[in-house]
Amino acid sequence: MSIVRFLALAGLATALAGSLTPSSAKAQNSVPQQQYFPLQSYRVGPYAAGGTGFFGGFIDYMTLINARDGGVNGVKLTWDECETQYIVERGVECYERMKNHVPPPSAWNPLSVGIAYAMIPGITADKVPLITIDHGRTDSTDGAVFPYVFPLLMNPYSESSAIINFIATRVGGPDKLVGKSIVVLYHGSPYGKETIPIYQLLSKKFGFKLEQIEVPDPGTEQESQWLQIRRIHPDYVVLRGWGVMNPVALKTAQDTGFPADHIIGNVWSNSEEDARPAGDAAKGYIALTTQATGTQYTVIRQIVKIVYGAGRGDMADKSRIGSVYYNLGVVNGILNVEAVRIAQAKFGDHTLTGPEMQWGFEHLDLDPGRVAQLGATGLFHSIDVTCADHEGHGFVTFQQWNGSSWHRISDWIAPDWALLRPIIVASANKYAAENGITPRDCSKPQFAAN
């Protein structure tokens, strides 16, 4: 190889490298103080319905804060979107692309278990919080081991426990669960399998018979699974689905004569997009949620008036405002923004760093009174995050599909946190040992220790 050719190649490579280098410091001078949120959104591909709703709600809430309050105490909220299609390496590429942004990322909200897992080592080294609202690895609830990971509102174990508690109320009390039969139909993926041991534990504790049946991804065909269910003849079926698996499950249940109001969906089987495609088969279907649907809450009404009134709303289809994923996005926005506010109270009203944001999330305490001030009463219950508990004692509720919309049919229900805590701590400690992490001492005041 000649020198000339080598230089030509090197020059080409430099140009290529230059074109791919992330552009940082975008719009940095025009806004003196800003809090930046990198959004790894997914608006195309198989899970686009969830992504457009969630990120639409999140963005609309941030737009509302900027428009109504001029930001958080004068600090504007800013964001960029990067499309992941829910694919892990695209999410990782987005993370690499946006992590060196100036000002620094406040928190990551990928809404994807796979992407979140892949980011944990990176964000822990960067010291920027990773929010996995309603999902994520359960043991990251233990903030002593996972200082920067926040499965806010609800982790998968709490979800399982809450579902069983709800079934208990339907059959007339926890003691009536003895001898009942429950089938868990789960998506064939790490997400679907995560709760297998916890249902076994709950089955032992309450004395109900348990079968757990896998539906291979994507779940467009479930005849054999529902035939098995028909043979078992359970009292309840817990649907732990994702994407197209959910409407197909409801359809096939009808095919095989299983009543929809004895199917209890988990948090990723609880949206309009899960129930509506099943048509009549979904009527009566019940699902868990951490946030109620509808547009009657003050905060959502303000978004419609101020954000959409000014033509600045994110949703192309306005009828989806108030849907499950949209409202989850709004709640996620509230939690992120309140973490900023709480951290500002300690560190000052300016652009906050990752560790400062971490402090904010770790002191995120919104009691029902504060939730009312935020105009979100009834939208979600409350949250109280601490160093040891990154979930924040979230309450859940249950909703029933009437053929066109969801209606709440239960009070806010608490999972059995005391039962779950030792398992979570044990799992977190195993992770700590494998990865050479020394858990923090949560009894001491935390900051800058990391």
The interface with another protein within residues 129-158 (CB under 8 A) comprises 137
- Establish if 25 lies at the interface with another protein (CB under 8 A): no
Nearer to another protein, 218 or 375 (CB): 218
d(CA 85, CA 228): 34
Give the three-class secondary structure for 78: strand
- Per CB under 8 A, the segment of 11-19, 175-183, 285-293, 368-376 that binds another protein is 11-19
- Establish if 121 lies at the interface with another protein (CB under 8 A): yes
Which residue from 160, 162, 134, 130 is spatially nearest to 146, judged by alpha carbons? Answer: 130
- Establish if 433 lies at the interface with another protein (CB under 8 A): no
Element (H, E) at 349: none
Specify whether the CB–CB gap between 109 and 37 falls below 8 A: yes
- Per CB under 8 A, the segment of 38-46, 289-297, 305-313, 368-376 that binds another protein is 38-46
- Establish if 448 lies at the interface with another protein (CB under 8 A): no
Give the three-class secondary structure for 326: helix
Nearer to another protein, 185 or 340 (CB): 185
- Establish if 18 lies at the interface with another protein (CB under 8 A): yes
- Establish if 46 lies at the interface with another protein (CB under 8 A): yes
Interacting positions 228-247 with another protein (CB under 8 A): 228, 230-231, 243-244, 247
Interacting positions 316-375 with another protein (CB under 8 A): 316-317
Residues in the chain: 450
Count the alpha carbons within 13 Å of 41 in the hemisphere toward its beta carbon.
24
Residue 331 CB, shortest distance to another protein, in Å, is 21
- Per CB under 8 A, the segment of 6-14, 103-111, 357-365, 410-418 that binds another protein is 6-14
Q: Dihedral through CA 48, CA 54, CA 59, CA 62, nearest 10? A: -170
Specify whether the CB–CB gap between 58 and 17 falls below 8 A: no
Residue 153 CB, shortest distance to another protein, in Å, is 19
Tokens found for residue 248 = 């197909």
Choosing from 142, 159, 194, 391, the residue that interacts with another protein (CB under 8 A) is: 194
Residues sharing a CB contact under 8 Å with residue 306, sequence separation 6 or more, in sequence order: 64, 67, 68
- Establish if 248 lies at the interface with another protein (CB under 8 A): yes
Residue 402 CB, shortest distance to another protein, in Å, is 14
Specify whether the CB–CB gap between 58 and 333 falls below 8 A: yes
d(CA 313, CA 54): 13
- Per CB under 8 A, the segment of 144-152, 271-279, 288-296, 347-355 that binds another protein is 271-279
- Per CB under 8 A, the segment of 102-110, 119-127, 343-351, 356-364 that binds another protein is 119-127
Nearer to another protein, 66 or 189 (CB): 189
Residue 7 CB, shortest distance to another protein, in Å, is 9
Residue 291 CB, shortest distance to another protein, in Å, is 20
Which residue from 287, 189, 289 is spatially nearest to 236, judged by alpha carbons? Answer: 287
Which residue from 142, 139, 133 is spatially nearest to 389, judged by alpha carbons? Answer: 142
Nearer to another protein, 17 or 418 (CB): 17
- Establish if 5 lies at the interface with another protein (CB under 8 A): yes
Among positive and negative, which fits the CA dihedral 228, 231, 232, 238?
Answer: positive
- Establish if 257 lies at the interface with another protein (CB under 8 A): yes
- Per CB under 8 A, the segment of 218-226, 285-293, 335-343, 381-389 that binds another protein is 218-226
Which residue from 264, 272, 207, 268 is spatially nearest to 413, judged by alpha carbons? Answer: 264
- Establish if 67 lies at the interface with another protein (CB under 8 A): no
Residues sharing a CB contact under 8 Å with residue 276, sequence separation 6 or more, in sequence order: 247, 282, 404
**CA distances (Å), origin 133, targets 54, 265, 332, 358, 363:** 11, 17, 7, 15, 16
Residue 129 CB, shortest distance to another protein, in Å, is 18
Residue 369 CB, shortest distance to another protein, in Å, is 36
Looking at the DSSP bridge assignments, the partners of residue 214 are 186
- Establish if 419 lies at the interface with another protein (CB under 8 A): no
- Establish if 60 lies at the interface with another protein (CB under 8 A): no
State yes or no: cis peptide before 218, omega within 30 of 0.
Answer: yes
Tokens found for residue 208 = 């109900």
- Establish if 218 lies at the interface with another protein (CB under 8 A): yes
- Establish if 254 lies at the interface with another protein (CB under 8 A): yes
